Amino acid sequence: MQYHRILIKLSGEALAAKKDHMILEANHLIQVAKSIKTIHDKGIQVAIVIGAGNIWRGKMSAQIGIESSTSDYMGMLGTIINSLALQSALENLNVQCRVLSAIEVRSVAEPYIRRRAIRHLEKNRVVIFAGGTGNPYFTTDTTASLRAMEIHADAILMAKNGVDGVYTSDPSKDAKAKKINVITFDDMLKQKLEVMDLTAISLVKDKNIVIKVFDMNQPNSFLKVLEDDGYGTTIKKG
């Protein structure tokens, strides 16, 4: 397997319970934890960034009248809740895990320090980066790119909820949309394909980091996307 250290980007929505509108669904959380453990057991160092869409969406702020910076900080706090939930699920599987937060919440998480994060990874601990970048106006996609560069990750796994890769257009709206197996960062930016935040793409486009986009709901998908170059979509430097 060609990857030594990876960063997994998870959406908060993927952890939610759709039927009863709970922010977390036990089976979803357990299955994600098991998938991460499968990768971890292969000797790959694993870092994670989780969104907070199951708890707070920025578009809600305009409806309520919350200032945009405050809204972004609320989202960052939501990522801490999701990170602690995933940490607990991983520890229940006997996987050592640390949550490092860009916003100081010392009672529940360690402050984010790059060297400390790398040291945890070297000790074979899963590291979850919470609190976004610690600054408003940046998405968790951008956080994923930034942290991946800081820890020298080989790849970012974009685990999508029901989307199996990058398409030429939105497949739910365009019947002629075609799946793309491999694409460069430059072409992603030129075509403005909405797979992840374009700022996040811009950060890594000249780095030796590949992005793998795949459907996290498929069986063994987390491991398969690392072992099979034809699975999902690979985004890489041109």
pLDDT at 173: 85
Query: Is residue 1 over pLDDT 60?
Result: no
Least confident range from 133-137, 194-198, 211-215: namely 194-198
| 97-130: pLDDT as tens digits | 999 999 999 999 999 999 999 999 999 999 999 9
The pLDDT of residue 162 is 81
Residue 10 CA to residue 221 CA, distance in Å, equals: 13
Question: What is residue 201's predicted lDDT score, i.e. its pLDDT?
Answer: 93
DSSP state of 166: E
Residue 230: pLDDT band by 50, 70, 90 thresholds? confident
Q: Comparing C-alpha atoms, which of 133, 210, 225, 156 is closest to residue 9?
A: 156
What sign does the CA torsion over 21, 23, 26, 30 have?
Answer: positive
> What mean pLDDT comes out for the span 210-227?
92
**Which residue from 70, 66, 78 is spatially nearest to 10, judged by alpha carbons?**
78
- What pLDDT does residue 112 have? 98
The CA distances from residue 118 to 15, 47, 52, 113, 189, in Å, are: 26, 10, 24, 9, 30
The per-residue pLDDT for range 141-190, each reduced to its tens digit, is 999 999 999 999 999 999 998 889 999 988 888 888 899 999 999 999 99
Alpha carbons 209 and 153: distance in angstroms, whole number = 7
Task: Report pLDDT for 192.
Answer: 86
Alpha helices for the chain (secondary structure H): 26-40, 59-64, 68-91, 114-122, 140-150, 185-191, 198-204, 221-227
Whether 2 shows a pLDDT value over 90: the answer reads no
Residues contacting 218, CB < 8 A, separation 6+: 164, 224
Neighbours of 171 (CB within 10 A): 15
3-state helix, strand, coil in the chain (%, to 5): 40, 20, 40
Please tell me the predicted confidence (pLDDT) of residue 185.
94
* Structure token pair of residue 47: 């870092």
The 10s digit of each residue's pLDDT in 11-66 is: 998 899 877 788 999 999 999 999 999 999 999 999 999 999 999 988 888 889 99
| pLDDT of 82 higher than 70 | yes
Q: What's the confidence (pLDDT) of residue 224?
A: 93
**Domains of the chain with CATH codes:** 5-236 (3.40.1160.10)
Task: Select from 194, 148, 162 the least CA-distant residue to 49.
Answer: 148
* pLDDT at residue 119, rounded to an integer: 98
* Residue type for position 158: M
pTM above 0.85, yes or no: yes
Residue linked to tokens 């992005």: 211
